[in-house]
Structure 1
Amino acid sequence: MAHKVFICYSSHDKQVADAACAVLEAQRISCWIAPRDILAGEEYGKSILSAISSCQVVLLIFSAHANSSPQVRREVERAVSKGKILVPFRIEEVLPSDALEYALGNTHWLDALTPPLERYLVQLCDTIGRLIYKKKITEPPLWKRTETPASPELKSDQIHEPHTKPSADRATAPTAPVISAPETISVNTNAAVAATNARESAPIEPRRRPDWTLRRSWLIMFVLFSGLLVSAVWYMRRPLPPPLVSQYQQITIDSHRKAFVGTDGTRLYFNRYADPQPLAQASVSGGKIEPIPVTLPDPWMLDISPDGSTLLIRSTDGPKHSLWSMGTLGGSLRHLTDDNVGYAAWSADGKQIAYSTVSGEVNVMRSDGSESHRLAGIASTGNFSWSLDGRFIRYTKDHRYWEMSADGSNSHPLLPGWHPNASLSDGRWTPQGFFIFASRELNSGVVSIPEAASQLWLLDERHRSFWQAPVMPVQLTSGPTGLSRPVSSKDGLTIFARGVDLHGELDSYDRKSGQIQPYLGGMSAESVTFSSDGRYVAYVGFPEGIMWRANRDGSDPMRLTDPPLYPIGLRWSPDGNQILFCALNSDGHTKSYTISAQGGAPQPILPEDNGTQSNPNWSPDGHKILFSSAEAGGLTSGPGRILDLTTHQVSSVPGSEGTRSPRWSPDGRFIAVIFGFNGLKVLDLETKRWTVLAKGQIGYPTWSRDSKYIYFLRWEGDRGVYRVHVSGGEVERVVDLKGLPLTGVFRFWMGLDPDDTPLLLRNAGKDEIYALNLAEK
């Protein structure tokens, strides 16, 4: 099948290319885009040449990456040589290189340099549509039929000839079929006059009224009534046009990671991660962010009442999760329940609160905490949202939306079969009856920051009734900025949402100056590991999730993996030939792999094992692999296990039950693990004795090269990089991280360079709240 548009782009700009493709195809302009339109087994280069030859327009997504891509240059050169219309769509402020300047020198550009991207996509779609359908359509439309000639004076060119062959222009333009005038019928007028005279001279006999006249009247009435009924049913069941986003406005400007909660009409309420005062507020028009003081351990906002007067706050004190309420203007706290609350949400009238527990129960109570009762037992629930009429409650389970009656009955999936590989969350209603939620592909982004790959969708439920035909969600937003946690303004004309652009800066701690400074050019990378001889470095680009190997100074990088595989926790083998890592599998489990440092396919360390294998690391001689049966980045615990690469036997580390993140010391004598809720201990393999070294928050434990110290990260509270001696003693803070925002696949990362200098990934991206103004189509 020939496509009208060939989309030429760098893989770094895939999100923009996909968005352009979606907008064009929504207007029935067929597009060819790799790798979607390359058949399995088909030669890559041959497919591209064939697609360029058969298309009418070549759309170039032009950026710095495209400017330096040899593949993009070759595709542009082929398009120019074949005389194709070239439309450059520039998304970054960059001029073409010498290699592209000749091909693009006389071509008009379309610039899309400032957000939002959507308005430029509309202009792009209009431009390409005009280029493709620029020839004038000469035929009249189907409804404008030619009349039969009533007199000889009519001109011959006013009559359609029924067998005229279409012109070349018409053959290329989309046309409707032409309805020809009926052919002229010959009539013998003398015979007609004679027949008329004979009828007039005949005697007139009385005639009875036909008995079918009444039936005909009833038939006409029935047809009219049926037509009205069909029209009424169609009117009631017709899909109403959804609103469009007419304008984007950034509200906050601090880039601090947030969890948006709601609005009281004049102010926005949200949580700030890794902040000593996580509850915060700001004006809907922007301005200073102000903390909300709360005298509770580890507070977290869950919802705001419909009238905007009261906040729902969860407090976490160790394993205990209690629920409280507090006025938005301050005042005393009201204790509601100690039921180990996970999520909670107000009903639309503000009289009830639905909440889930960590054990998987869904309960409902009055807004003052009284009359609590169980609704249902549903594991892994979250994101509660009451309907506007209070008749049912929606919640997420296994990445999908479910719905149940307000009494807990009739639980069922909301959109079965719709985008089965998508993860749905954050749904909220607008006053008009739109249900707006976030959706992302399950394999489309960073493991623990899914909101970076989310976009907003709208389910129109304004006519939710027996008469309405089933409706499907329509996409409300698209573009490189991930949008999630939508909340409607009080009038429903604005949607406030969290917008995320992920980017990091690799930094190191300069011991002499005591300053944090860029490392390896400040590239956005984590899971940095060095070969034992210190000559090479391997890392994972953030947030793309691609593993690279390079010289220690970052030169001559070599790509080792491709998405959707997202490597975590890289460890170079002692002989320098392999790199060990783990990654989240398609079934949701973490698996461990090895890959050659020279490239190749990743190989699972235990192909037949269906369990979890996370945080793998080598024994000092490279003959064994130590790993955890707990999930990477999670709090679930399991024993440490050792795989003998010679015998392929797996054994457990004695006394390691309930631990995670095992680390083998470089000298081979110790194994360090995180235990319990938070704590660090080591096993002396010679004495078989465990020793507790530290308690409190522990993340990314890393051995020093001489096996004397263990470094670790504390990302909340008294934030910093710490170390403790393997023999015990006081915990020493090495780097103070107060005020330094961090990011990474698990929202933060820490490592050491060959000189035991701490490495960190500073947050250099954007995490803001935006206002999306809605307009009717």
Structure 2
Amino acid sequence: GVSYLHRPLPPPRISAYTQLTRDGRRRWLTGVDENRLYINSFSGGPIYQVGINGGEMVQVPVAVPGILPMGADVLPDGSSLLVTSNEEGKPARTLWNVRIPDGTYRRLGYALDATFSPDRSTVLYSTPEGDIRVVRSDGTGGHKLGSAGGIANWPFWSPDGRVIRFSRGGRLWEISPNGSSLHELLPGWHGADIICCGQWTPDGSCTYSLSVSPRFGLLMSGADRFGKRAPSLSNWPPGQSNGIRRTPAGTARKSSLMVPPCVASSPASTQRPKPSNRSWEASPQRLSRSPTMASSWPMSPTRTATFGGPTSGSKPLQLTDPPMKASLPRWSPDGSQILFGDSSSGRNVMFAVPSEGGTPKRVLPDDNGEQTDPNWSPDGKKIVFCRGGGFSDSKSVLGILDISSHQVKQVPGSDGTFSPRWSPDGRFIAALTANGERALRVFDVSTQRWLELPVVEGVDFPAFSKDSGYIYFESNPEEGNPEVVRILRIPVKGGAAELVADLKDWRFTGRPGTWMGLDPDDAPLMMRDAGSKDIYALTLEEK
């Protein structure tokens, strides 16, 4: 009898599902009230609403200061909507509490993500500095609750208000409302490579979360607060789902989840522009230059590193395994090593692995700080990288590691920069500013001075041309607005930026949502969403 009482409960079952949207566009589900779903466009832009049983999508009239408003949460009765927007010169997106339907609003702070408290009186939000803060719904009484230990996204409060959970580094974490007891949920459990975006059951007994794994897209019963439910994955099809929300109505045994979006066809392809007319053609995924080979790093559900053989084509070789979360690979100049970043620990660190296969090893095993965007020098004797959290960390600096001496020196004047790239001729290092503008800067290695370039804001993924004369980059001044995203190039020694390709109506995909690189002929490579994605309502039943 006693052993039976301690047996893990079976996972909830998906008894039915209903398709709610039918335009195939990638969306971000921001909230659900008693009658409606609130939806963000993946690349920013208007906030939409649609009936809880489907129907026509209607734009929500939100007129807060700034650009690219995006919803974060909604009260169950639909009376208030949390919205963030970009305001020029601000340290992060501004958080607003917007009354519906009159549209009046109050400024609450600067946030990455936010949610209402169960009693509706306060708002919990995370900051780019890794803090978790609370503020009253009227904007008063704001204070720091605690530190998340890193970038926290998708916070969600238990129905009884006793526990706060959030996503950090692809895992679920928990903290008490008084800022104590920070810990990871399901430590050491590798049934899914990435877990995020949780929601509580109506009775608060356990949570549902989205997962990314080789087989499944929904983690049904992770982290039972009473220890009676083992982690288990659902029978929901795999896909790149963004967000999960539970309807306000529901019982302890039956409830509905809204899940967007699910891939109904081939999810992505990598494409390059045809030289003749700037249209796009298919290409192998995620190429990174090598003297004799082309490496491939597809953003597959397992997040593993792979690389192709000779460019004539051969079977890819897998170089890393879960739980490692590899990103941004870089071939060594002699082709013997591949440098990459790993974020499986919740922070980014540098690794290197032999290109013919072997055990990945930490490049700086005694360094406990963040190390992002590592890049080789052309002679393979040094590595330039970013110390800090990258684009959201104004305290980031660039470091250069001398491989033979294991000494790291800071690049002069690199405070507040990230995303370094070393030119093929070794003369320059390109980087981006981390102050929200993401402007391009170029460091002259010989003179140890920064060059003056025309100001181009919203730069992503800089890449030197093979002759080191140009820097190609994705220009995204409005944080993903598809109407303004372009690929440009600019002369290293000065001059106006030139248009290479217009990305209007481009369907972005990948993690963290977009990527650009160059093939060996300086043709840009982009990830394009070739799938069909829509929002579904899942009916869950517990036995």
TM-score (norm 2): 0.81
- Residues 568, 581 of structure 1: 8 Å contact kept: no
For 1:286, the aligned partner's letter is: G
Name whichever of 714-723 and 634-643 sits farther off: 634-643
- Residues 571, 581 of structure 1: 8 Å contact kept: yes
In structure 2, distance between residues paired with 1:610 and 1:749: 27
1:270-285 paired onto structure 2 within 5 Å: 270-275=39-44, 277-285=45-53
**Match 1:487 to one of 245, 262, 265:** 245
Secondary structure at the residue paired with 1:489? strand
**1:332 maps to which residue?**
103
The gaps in structure 1 that reach 5 residues or longer are: 1-229, 446-450, 462-468
1:195-344 paired onto structure 2 within 5 Å: 244-275=13-44, 277-295=45-63, 296-297=65-66, 298-317=68-87, 318-329=90-101, 331-337=102-108, 339-344=109-114
Can you list the C-alpha shifts for 1:33-88, whole angstroms capped at 9, x where unaligned? xxxxxxxxxxxxxxxxxxxxxxxxxxxxxxxxxxxxxxxxxxxxxxxxxxxxxxxx
Q: CA deviation at 1:595?
A: 3.9
1:302-701 paired onto structure 2 within 5 Å: 302-317=72-87, 318-329=90-101, 331-337=102-108, 339-348=109-118, 350-356=120-126, 360-365=131-136, 367=137, 369=138, 372=141, 374=143, 376-379=145-148, 383-388=154-159, 392=162, 394-396=164-166, 399-402=171-174, 404=176, 408-409=177-178, 411-412=180-181, 425-429=196-200, 431=202, 435-438=206-209, 440=211, 454-457=218-221, 471-472=228-229, 475=232, 477-481=234-238, 485-492=243-250, 493-501=255-263, 503-520=267-284, 525-526=285-286, 528-532=287-291, 535-543=292-300, 544=302, 545-553=304-312, 555-564=313-322, 565-575=324-334, 577-584=335-342, 586-631=344-389, 635=393, 637-677=395-435, 678-693=438-453, 694-701=455-462
- Residues 456, 484 of structure 1: 8 Å contact kept: no
In structure 1, distance between residues paired with 2:141 and 2:76: 20
In structure 1, distance between residues paired with 2:42 and 2:174: 28
- Residues 496, 769 of structure 1: 8 Å contact kept: yes
Q: CA deviation at 1:604?
A: 4.2
In structure 1, distance between residues paired with 2:115 and 2:316: 49
* Residue 712 of structure 1 pairs with residue 482 of structure 2: no
In structure 2, distance between residues paired with 1:606 and 1:644: 11
In structure 1, distance between residues paired with 2:295 and 2:407: 29
Name whichever of 731-740 and 245-254 sits farther off: 245-254
The gaps in structure 2 that reach 5 residues or longer are: none
In structure 1, distance between residues paired with 2:106 and 2:38: 20
Structure 2 vs 1, CA of residues 293 and 733 (structure 1 numbering), >3 Å: closer, same or farther? farther
In structure 1, distance between residues paired with 2:97 and 2:430: 41
Secondary structure at the residue paired with 2:34? coil
Q: CA deviation at 1:237?
A: 11
Structure 2 vs 1, CA of residues 712 and 416 (structure 1 numbering), >3 Å: closer, same or farther? closer
Can you list the C-alpha shifts for 1:606-627, whole angstroms capped at 9, x where unaligned? 4444444432333333333333
For 1:324, the aligned partner's letter is: W
In structure 2, distance between residues paired with 1:609 and 1:415: 22
Choose between structure 1 and 2: higher strand proportion: 2
- Residues 384, 393 of structure 1: 8 Å contact kept: no
Q: CA deviation at 1:703?
A: 0.5
1:21-32 paired onto structure 2 within 5 Å: none
Structure 2 vs 1, CA of residues 757 and 459 (structure 1 numbering), >3 Å: closer, same or farther? closer
Q: CA deviation at 1:335?
A: 1.5
- Residues 307, 350 of structure 1: 8 Å contact kept: no
Name whichever of 421-430 and 266-275 sits farther off: 421-430
Q: CA deviation at 1:265?
A: 3.3
In structure 1, distance between residues paired with 2:165 and 2:405: 48
Identity of aligned residues (%): 31
In structure 2, distance between residues paired with 1:373 and 1:752: 46
In structure 2, distance between residues paired with 1:470 and 1:303: 29
Structure 2 vs 1, CA of residues 254 and 633 (structure 1 numbering), >3 Å: closer, same or farther? farther
In structure 2, distance between residues paired with 1:394 and 1:308: 22
RMSD: 3.8
Structure 2 vs 1, CA of residues 582 and 292 (structure 1 numbering), >3 Å: closer, same or farther? same
Structure 2 vs 1, CA of residues 263 and 475 (structure 1 numbering), >3 Å: closer, same or farther? same
Q: CA deviation at 1:375?
A: 7.6
Structure 2 vs 1, CA of residues 667 and 529 (structure 1 numbering), >3 Å: closer, same or farther? same
Secondary structure at the residue paired with 1:495? strand
Choose between structure 1 and 2: higher helix proportion: 1
Larger Rg: 1
In structure 2, distance between residues paired with 1:613 and 1:410: 27
Structure 2 vs 1, CA of residues 681 and 289 (structure 1 numbering), >3 Å: closer, same or farther? same
In structure 1, distance between residues paired with 2:43 and 2:541: 37
* Residue 759 of structure 1 pairs with residue 511 of structure 2: no
Can you list the C-alpha shifts for 1:142-164, whole angstroms capped at 9, x where unaligned? xxxxxxxxxxxxxxxxxxxxxxx
1:23-42 paired onto structure 2 within 5 Å: none
For 1:428, the aligned partner's letter is: Q
- Residues 471, 491 of structure 2: 8 Å contact kept: yes
- Residues 330, 340 of structure 2: 8 Å contact kept: no
For 1:302, the aligned partner's letter is: A
Secondary structure at the residue paired with 2:145? strand
Q: CA deviation at 1:418?
A: 7.6
Q: CA deviation at 1:347?
A: 4.0
For 2:104, the aligned partner's letter is: L
Structure 2 vs 1, CA of residues 435 and 486 (structure 1 numbering), >3 Å: closer, same or farther? farther
Number of residue pairs matched by the alignment: 514
Secondary structure at the residue paired with 1:550? coil
